[in-house]
A and B are shown apart, each in its own frame.
Chain A
Amino acid sequence: MIITTRDLRKQYGKLTAVKDVNLTLQRGEILGLVGPNGAGKTTLLKMLSTLIEPTTGSIEIMGFNIWKERLQVRKHIGYLPDFFNLYDDLKLWELLYFFAQTYGVPEDERDLRVNTALEDTNLLIKRDDFIKNLSRGMTQRVGLATLLVHQPDIFLLDEPASGLDPQARITLRTILKKLAKKGKTLIVSSHILTELDDFCSHIAIMNKGELVLHDEVKEIHRKLKGEHTLKLKVLNMFDKAKDTLKSNPSITSLSGADGIFSLGYSGDDKIIAKINADLVSNGIEVIHLQREQKNLEGLFMELTEELNLSV
């Protein structure tokens, strides 16, 4: 295992930002860390990057205890915060040279590494420009270049696509895929799931500090294939409608309130007919029925919604 967290928790007074997270990652995995704003993604990444100390629990990175052997760990990780400002008094190549030197890149390789990182992020043309003169999107790419220049084993990227134009997003995906092929491990956080769906090997969903799902993308898709979602709207007797739906054994999940329900079921269209018949026979007026194929986004909404309702 390249990253292992055990019962990781971060408490800020009354607020539990991260709650007992157990996470394992192997070399070459790309983990998409998804969750709504305030889910605890940034706090988790900051703990992994040694920036903040967990309240309880432990983290091991490449066999090193993150707090006892912090300096060793830092040599192996590259962290890109969600909001950052680089040293704007430096030129682009100077900044990358500084990172190369700091992370122990041999002197004779530094110039080559700087130019390669600039080329990979399409910034070679801006080599001699000052950081302060770059646009937000370009700065985001410079941030990525500061990591590429020293090629760490683990990349921790917090919302790396924010502020990037569509073309830059495609470039970012290509870079990340290339890195994974080289055996690098990546954790990429985002609150947009579709952004991660096509290049992540694993997905972890966080909500209110908890890790509500962590699985391989392939496995999640396999599970989702047999499941459908039904959107349902009734006009009256909301509680009775909920009880009727709950009593149906084909329904695997149920959420919603005030007469608007979203339910998961497995089986064919006959199930829909049965659900409708059951509701009508109980005197409930059904005004809307719509079948949907469940996708990752649907699953994400369901998981985060369920938790929010229970809270």
Chain B
Amino acid sequence: MFEKLMNNPIIKRYSFSLFRRNSIIVASIIYISLIMLINTITFLYFVANMQSNTPIDVQKLAMTAYPWMLGLSVILLWGMASITPANIIFSQITKGSYDFFEILPLSGRTKATGLLIGTNLIYYPLAAISIILTIQYGMLGGVGPIQQLNILLLFLFGGLFCNTLSVLLCVSSTNLNKKQSKIGTNKNGSIVGIIILALVFGIPIIGALSDSKQGINELLELKWNFYSFKISAILFISLAALYFAGWNFTGAARKLQDKTLPMFTRGGAVKYLISLQFILFGFFFNYLFRDSIEMSRFAGAFAIVLFFIMLAIYLATRRNKKRIIQSIDRIAITEKKPMSVTILKIVNISNISEALILFTVWAIPALIFAITSGYSINSIIIHFCTFAIFTILAASCSEFYILFKDSKWKYHFLITLFFFVYQGGIFLGGILSRSGDLLIFSFPGYIILMFPGNLTEKISNIQRIQALIFNAFIAFALFGCVISFYTMLWQKIIADFKLKKVIDEEKSKKKEETQSE
């Protein structure tokens, strides 16, 4: 394993640049100074709060320093080790050396591993030293080995999650070859994202630990309901972080293998959504079958959040036009009757099929939630039909966007504009005029009207059905346009393919004739 890592050219390359005598000396001085500073401050703080003439309680002293040391380890592993690969990737892009990196004949996994470990050759050892010192302090302070192990797992897997997420966000940037990147996927976006994650996950834990030993015990004894089991919250977070770190890494490796590939494979997206739902569903399993209004509101909100996660996963799974054409090409070569185009074939070849599969995966637990939360059958049918129609609408618009992205920029622009005006415009109109009748026609408005409020009370199921029919009309019209466009594209590709075949055959015939002459 170690030998394999050392044979990774990217790790070797960073070992050259990072392990220079001066860099090591500077890093060591800064690190030792930090450790000394933490220890001095905690010692002085401890002594200042100590009653005079009492001997120093080593256990208490160690526990005063413990959260600080853990904080330093988190900053190094979760923060610095996440920011560094992002910084390096973006500096390569701005300096113009990313082209070299991109065409290296290395697999995506090798590149991802190289980036992750290679760029952190300084921070990983420092984080390791810090955590060893933290464990030492913990031992002196009387923290038990099981508790230490739990904290260690959380520290390692949480760090791995942040680090892999940082690499994934950077390599998924759509404008990697340009000097400027889009908001959310650029360097600052990644760094901000990582910092937010570190704050969200790190601070509460460190905060709990700062209450000394009691805090640690409380945190470690915290149990969550997961289906019918009770599991340690810390252990659960650690394992979930490891699981999602694995997905982050796989996504990054795919992007590094071929930047035009989507982040997920079709199967991968389904697995990801199922596993995510399985985990989240597990937490709320015990709250199901309780007929209360709060529960129905909560279930609705939970299902909506999952719906948007499902849409995000779909966006990360879409194949571009080139890949779709390749699939049609394959059909032209392998099928006996390639010209017979059916809607089913087109839906299968397009990204719409993926949207429908993901919708189904989302709908099953959402349906269980809705039934067990006391929603009426009529409401459930209307809600699910509305969500399904919006999925078809969004998938059709997205398909147009993909098909016209490279060639017909006007269409591509128009379809984006249409989507936002149609959904956003109606929504804004409804909000400004405080009209539920208008709001119900947009999907965001519909979601607002799912929850209790002044406007919701005025909306009847008949109005919801009217909006549903109107939206279904537009969604299916767009869907029909996508199908027609695909049919034309399909027939053109197959015709071109046949023509090429005839030309090639004629050419080879002529060649044979001239050779025989």
A70 with B258: CB separation less than 8 A = yes
Distance in Å: Cβ of B108 to nearest Cβ of chain A: 9
Does A90 reach chain B (CB closer than 8 Å)?
yes
Q: List 15 A-B contacts (CB under 8 A).
A: A49-B103, A51-B99, A55-B322, A55-B407, A56-B325, A74-B105, A83-B96, A84-B97, A85-B96, A86-B97, A87-B97, A89-B17, A98-B16, A102-B106, A103-B105
Distance in Å: Cβ of B413 to nearest Cβ of chain A: 10
Does B498 reach chain A (CB closer than 8 Å)?
no
Does A13 reach chain B (CB closer than 8 Å)?
yes
B258 with A101: CB separation less than 8 A = no
Distance in Å: Cβ of B345 to nearest Cβ of chain A: 22
The size class of the interface chain B forms with chain A is 20 to 34
Chain B residues with Cβ below 8 Å from A90 are 13, 16-17
Does A50 reach chain B (CB closer than 8 Å)?
yes
A84 with B12: CB separation less than 8 A = no
Does B9 reach chain A (CB closer than 8 Å)?
yes
A75 with B105: CB separation less than 8 A = yes
Chain A residues with Cβ below 8 Å from B102 are 51
Does A53 reach chain B (CB closer than 8 Å)?
yes
Distance in Å: Cβ of B499 to nearest Cβ of chain A: 12
A172-221 with Cβ < 8 A to chain B: none
Going nearest first, the 7 A-B pairs with the smallest beta carbon separation are: A74-B105, A13-B409, A89-B17, A102-B9, A101-B9, A94-B16, A85-B95
Query: What residues of chain B have their CB less than 8 Å away from a CB belonging to chain A?
Result: 9, 12-13, 16-17, 95-97, 99-100, 102-107, 177, 258, 260, 322, 325, 406-407, 409
Does A293 reach chain B (CB closer than 8 Å)?
no
Q: Among A50, A72, A98, A102, find the residue whose CB has the most chain B CB atoms closer than 10 A.
A: A102
B12 with A101: CB separation less than 8 A = yes
Distance in Å: Cβ of B283 to nearest Cβ of chain A: 42
A51-B103, A87-B97 known; A98-B9 Cβ under 8 A:
yes
B104 with A74: CB separation less than 8 A = yes
A85 with B97: CB separation less than 8 A = yes
In Å, the complex CA distance between A12 and B405 comes to 9
The size class of the interface chain A forms with chain B is 35 or more
In Å, the complex CA distance between A146 and B100 comes to 10
A86-B97, A87-B17, A89-B17 known; A11-B407 Cβ under 8 A:
yes
Q: With contacts A84-B99, A90-B16, A94-B13 known, what are 7 further pairs, Cβ within 8 A?
A: A11-B406, A14-B409, A53-B260, A55-B407, A83-B96, A98-B13, A101-B12
Q: Which residue of A lies closest to B320 (CB)?
A: A53
Distance in Å: Cβ of A29 to nearest Cβ of chain B: 22
B16 with A81: CB separation less than 8 A = no
Chain B residues with Cβ below 8 Å from A97 are 12, 16
A55-B322, A70-B258, A87-B13 known; A13-B103 Cβ under 8 A:
no
In Å, the complex CA distance between A75 and B105 comes to 5
Does A79 reach chain B (CB closer than 8 Å)?
yes
Chain A residues with Cβ below 8 Å from B409 are 13-14
Chain B residues with Cβ below 8 Å from A50 are 103
Does A91 reach chain B (CB closer than 8 Å)?
yes
In Å, the complex CA distance between A240 and B99 comes to 54
In Å, the complex CA distance between A70 and B254 comes to 13
A101-B9, A102-B9 known; A81-B99 Cβ under 8 A:
yes
Chain A residues with Cβ below 8 Å from B107 are 71
In Å, the complex CA distance between A14 and B408 comes to 7
Chain B residues with Cβ below 8 Å from A83 are 96
Cβ contact of A13, chosen from B95, B97, B406, cutoff 8 A: B406
Cβ contact of A79, chosen from B9, B13, B96, B103, cutoff 8 A: B103
Q: Among A85, A101, A146, find the residue whose CB has the most chain B CB atoms closer than 10 A.
A: A85
Chain B residues with Cβ below 8 Å from A94 are 13, 16-17
Chain B residues with Cβ below 8 Å from A81 are 96, 99
Q: Which residue of A lies closest to B7 (CB)?
A: A101
In Å, the complex CA distance between A55 and B16 comes to 39
B103 with A71: CB separation less than 8 A = no
Distance in Å: Cβ of B434 to nearest Cβ of chain A: 41
Q: Among A50, A83, A87, A91, find the residue whose CB has the most chain B CB atoms closer than 10 A.
A: A87
Distance in Å: Cβ of B328 to nearest Cβ of chain A: 13
Chain A residues with Cβ below 8 Å from B322 are 53, 55
A102 with B104: CB separation less than 8 A = yes
Distance in Å: Cβ of B400 to nearest Cβ of chain A: 16
A98 with B12: CB separation less than 8 A = yes
Distance in Å: Cβ of A77 to nearest Cβ of chain B: 8
A92-116 with Cβ < 8 A to chain B: 94, 97-98, 101-104
Q: Which residue of B lies closest to A71 (CB)?
A: B105
Chain B residues with Cβ below 8 Å from A86 are 97, 100
In Å, the complex CA distance between A53 and B95 comes to 22
A19-70 with Cβ < 8 A to chain B: 49-51, 53, 55-56, 70
Chain B residues with Cβ below 8 Å from A72 are 105
In Å, the complex CA distance between A103 and B95 comes to 23
Chain A residues with Cβ below 8 Å from B407 are 11, 13, 55
Chain B residues with Cβ below 8 Å from A84 are 96-97, 99-100
Distance in Å: Cβ of A5 to nearest Cβ of chain B: 15
Q: Which residue of B lies closest to A101 (CB)?
A: B9
Chain A residues with Cβ below 8 Å from B105 are 71-72, 74-75, 102-104
Q: Among B17, B100, B409, find the residue whose CB has the most chain A CB atoms closer than 10 A.
A: B100
In Å, the complex CA distance between A14 and B412 comes to 12
Q: Which residue of A lies closest to B107 (CB)?
A: A71
Chain B residues with Cβ below 8 Å from A91 are 16
In Å, the complex CA distance between A81 and B103 comes to 11
Chain A residues with Cβ below 8 Å from B99 are 51, 79, 81, 84
Distance in Å: Cβ of B154 to nearest Cβ of chain A: 34
In Å, the complex CA distance between A14 and B413 comes to 13
Distance in Å: Cβ of B302 to nearest Cβ of chain A: 40
Distance in Å: Cβ of B429 to nearest Cβ of chain A: 32
Q: Which residue of B lies closest to A94 (CB)?
A: B16
In Å, the complex CA distance between A85 and B92 comes to 9
Chain A residues with Cβ below 8 Å from B106 are 71, 102
Chain A residues with Cβ below 8 Å from B17 are 87, 89-90, 94
Q: Which residue of B lies closest to A10 (CB)?
A: B406
Chain B residues with Cβ below 8 Å from A146 are 100
Q: Which residue of A lies closest to B16 (CB)?
A: A94
Q: Which residue of A lies closest to B325 (CB)?
A: A56
Q: Which residue of A lies closest to B20 (CB)?
A: A89
Q: Among B104, B105, B258, find the residue whose CB has the most chain A CB atoms closer than 10 A.
A: B105
Q: Among A13, A91, A103, find the residue whose CB has the most chain B CB atoms closer than 10 A.
A: A13
Chain A residues with Cβ below 8 Å from B12 are 97-98, 101
Chain A residues with Cβ below 8 Å from B260 are 53
Distance in Å: Cβ of A164 to nearest Cβ of chain B: 18
Q: Which residue of A lies closest to B14 (CB)?
A: A89
Chain A residues with Cβ below 8 Å from B13 are 87, 90, 94, 98
Distance in Å: Cβ of A283 to nearest Cβ of chain B: 51
